[in-house]
Amino acid sequence: MRLMSAVTFTLLSAVICCSLTEKLPNASPPNIIIMLMDDMGWGDLGVFGQPSKETPNLDAMAAQGMLLPNFYTANPLCSPSRAALLTGRLPVRNGFYTTNGHARNAYTPQEIVGGISKDEILLPQMLKKKGYVSKIVGKWHLGHRPQYLPLKNGFDEWFGAPNCHFGPYNGSIRPNIPVYNNSEMLGRYYEEFTINRKTGESNLTQIYLMEGLDFILRQTKDRRPFFLYWAPDATHAPVYASKRFLGKSQRGRYGDAVMELDYSVGQILSWLRTFGIENNTFVFFTSDNGAALVSGPKGGGSNGPFLCGKQTTFEGGMREPAIAWWPGHIKEGSVNFQLANVMDLFTTSLALAGINPPDDRILDGLDLTPVLLDRPHTLQNRPIFYYRGNELMAVRLGQYKAHYWTWTNSWEELKNGINFCPGQEVPDVTTHEQKEHTQQPIIFHLGQDPGEKFPISVLTKEYQNVLSMISPVVEQHKKTMVPGIPQLNMCDMAVMVSQRL
């Protein structure tokens, strides 16, 4: 395993730092760091009201930057949301969905045949135009076959795994997930990279932290702009934390994992200050989807006041914690209620780098730099589209959200103890069969009712006004929607053979 001790790393960096801090100018374009958590909920941060107050570094990051309470993912499941971030396009456009079932979420298990389409353009590919060096640390989840891996899709470096840390598996039938350093397989989860399912102990977050710090150090030394996509997965079940953090949280093992991630964020931001590059590094913190309430209470997080969680298109499944940090550029302690989503990070990153976005395709992400830098803009009325698989389930415009379909999970799953909305049943809303409301959508005012518990009466003038406002937006969206070729339709156990070699 390529990992120096923390003491050696600190001493080495201190020597290099001395030669950098006084000489290093603020270069242009800025470095970009996107921190994408896994299944972390909106309500897991102290700044968003978590009563345990166990995220001091993230809370400080918000105090030094901008909090975005109305930030969304593009899909309530890991793989499609990550594909959307890196392409700036809805999963139904970039192909990260399935047509095997209506409104069915899909991801990239070991037996998936497909992956990110060769026709898509990923963020690191675009950033090369301005000389960026790009690295992903952690979970990829856009396909595990060779042609789909990060180094084939614009990244210069990778330390992590193609899938989540499910397991352990019987290697003769299904191999444990491999861990890579670039194109070299270093080992596997539960084997060379241990995760103790009984105690929850694992050093993976610390390994990912060190990899991120080392990358920043090397690029700073070489004076090259960099893009770091830091994607740890400790808060995805089965949750884990290192020995130093186990048993420390009031919230149990999930809280331990959050505390370690919070610590890691603090270390990365401190690292930027150490090298004097904080004013030339844009950092964005968010999550891939809402907390997995099905894993709770011990293995799942909090979505705050919002309904349901991961896998659903209710607010708890798609509204994410979000913090933007860029000292000297983003006003400290600011809060902006602009509707935004993870696809905006693609377009915003390109704008920061001074790169024009691709003009041969429809992009769903918008440039948020006017919002972040407090400049005049016309983004206020942009809609948020809530997709589940191949179906548009809901749309938000302003404070209003209209549900055209409702569904949590099936009665069969519920009878087997799988519940995406435990303790949150709302009659005729959290339905266990797919219910269509396209002729008369269920509408909520999210400012007054963030928990989506009290639908606006269809008999009111307010309902009619909202419907007349949202309907043209939906019609226009559907008219211009050209779905991509679905990449997540086919599974075959044979494709796992390559992972056993």
Catalytic residue among 141, 403, 432, 437: 141
Cβ neighbours for 480, distance < 8 A, ≥ 6 positions apart: 362
Residue 381 assigned as binding residue: no
245 DSSP assignment: T
Q: Give the closest residue to 387 by CA, choosing from 396, 377, 378.
A: 396
Q: Which residue type sits at 499?
A: Q
* Burial grade of 157 (CB within 10 A; 0-12, 13-18, 19 or more): buried
What is d(CA 69, CA 303) in angstroms, rounded to the nearest whole number?
12
CA-derived radius of gyration, the chain:
22
Q: Give the closest residue to 117 by CA, choosing from 91, 139, 81, 140.
A: 91
Distances from the Cα of 39 to the Cαs of 277, 373, 484, in angstroms? 30, 28, 26
**What does the longest C-alpha to C-alpha distance in the chain come to?**
71
Cβ neighbours for 309, distance < 8 A, ≥ 6 positions apart: 41, 290, 291, 292, 293, 294, 300, 303, 316, 317, 420, 421
β-pair partners for 137: 159, 230
Residue 289 assigned as binding residue: yes
Catalytic residue among 78, 164, 308, 421: 78
The Cα angle at residue 93 between residues 429 and 134, in degrees rounded to 5: 110
Q: Which residue type sits at 464?
A: Q
Q: Quick check: is 78 catalytic?
A: yes
Residue 38 assigned as binding residue: yes
Residue 39 assigned as binding residue: yes
Q: Quick check: is 165 catalytic?
A: no
Distances from the Cα of 121 to the Cαs of 97, 128, 157, 315, 488, in angstroms? 17, 12, 17, 29, 18
Q: Return the H-helix or E-strand segment holding 40.
A: none
Q: Is 444 within 8 Å of 454 (Cβ atoms)?
A: yes
Q: Return the H-helix or E-strand segment holding 363.
A: none
Cβ neighbours for 10, distance < 8 A, ≥ 6 positions apart: none
Residue 17 assigned as binding residue: no
Q: Is 137 within 8 Å of 159 (Cβ atoms)?
A: yes
**Reduced to 3 states, what is the DSSP secondary structure of residue 496?**
helix
Output the six-digit token pair for 275: 């090298």
Active site residues: 78, 141
Q: Which residues are annotated as a binding site for Ca(2+)?
A: 38-39, 78, 288-289
